[in-house]
Structure 1
Amino acid sequence: MQRFLGEVSYSSAGASGLLVEGGKARRDAIVRMVESVGGTVESCYFALGARDLFVIGTVQDTESAAALAIRTAASGAASSHSVPLLTPEQIDDAVGRAAEYRPPGG
């Protein structure tokens, strides 16, 4: 399973829907959508700033994350950006795989 951070920005239509449904109903809808591709939601937080919502969860693969992003964008109510999250152990593994690098001019 791959862990992702979903950064969500609502359109005016999405914000209007949030006013009607409320935060808990929106979180529940997000959980159902993520579960529909075999994933899980670990946390869901609304925020003030450049993004309106942050979701941390796991999905099977990048295609599943893409399916969620496409469905979100197609709704017209929000746009999302998926950020893959890695554990320290995954970084250690990645560093162990890295080939030698020569910088330009080096």
Structure 2
Amino acid sequence: MAEYTVKCVTTDDSSQYDDCRCIEKIGFPGKNSPTVTRTPTQVYDMIENDGDTVLVKYDGQTTKVIGATHGTTKYVRTEPNDTKDDNLLKQPSC
């Protein structure tokens, strides 16, 4: 089990969704490269199957990323907190 902090996200601006389901890639600091990206499904599996912890930092606050599903679609979002929007969507673009 490892801990990862989100560095950036890539969203699909033409997506029918305006929530975390529009995320295409999630970036993490890499060991041998500046950024390593994973799909939301890969990050879901890291959390739900591998027991890894994924965190997102925004506006001085650290929030845990959790796995979610919509039908058969696996995606990730942050745990509910005091912000109106999901902090994962507030990350810079990869």
Q: TM-score, normalized by length of structure 1?
A: 0.31
Structure (1 or 2) with the greater helix fraction: 1
Q: Which has the higher contact order (CA 8 A, sep 6+)?
A: 1
Greater radius of gyration (CA):
1
Structure (1 or 2) with the greater strand fraction: 2
